[in-house]
Amino acid sequence: MALTIKQSKTNFVAGVGTVDATAARLTLATSFRGLKGVYIKCTAGTIYVGNSSGVSAANGYPLVAAGDNAVEIAIDNPNKIWVIGDAPARTYKWLAS
């Protein structure tokens, strides 16, 4: 009996976002099946990550660029992730796979 090994394809997409002091939904322009999660890294200032438009400094998970902080969220849809900045023009990078 022959052993057959199937190689799985790995799909991922990356992006850069800018947010100010108004909560914004993380959106994924490219859709693909099998999304396992999203990795978010702050690149300027401080952003807060949450699960609703009510995310704030008081209830969000803080990511500080100076601290080289990042978070990985196991989630099937990045539209469920919200971010807000502590000031205008806060930037972040994200990777979904």
Domain boundaries, the chain: 13-96
What pLDDT score was predicted for residue 91?
Answer: 93
Give the C-alpha separation, 41 to 57, whole Å. Answer: 16
DSSP string covering 33-90, please?
Answer: S----EEEEEEESEEEEESSTT--TTTSEEEETTTT-EEEE--S-GGG-EEEESSTTE
What pLDDT score was predicted for residue 2?
Answer: 47
Residues linked to residue 82 through DSSP beta bridges, in sequence order: 25, 50
Q: What mean pLDDT, rounded, does the chain reach?
A: 83
13-96: CATH class: mainly beta
Total-model pTM: 0.82
β-strand pairing of 70-73 with 38-44: antiparallel
Residue pLDDT, tens place only, 46-84: 999 999 999 999 999 999 998 778 999 998 878 889 999
Give the confidence band of 12 by pLDDT, cuts at 50, 70, 90. Answer: confident
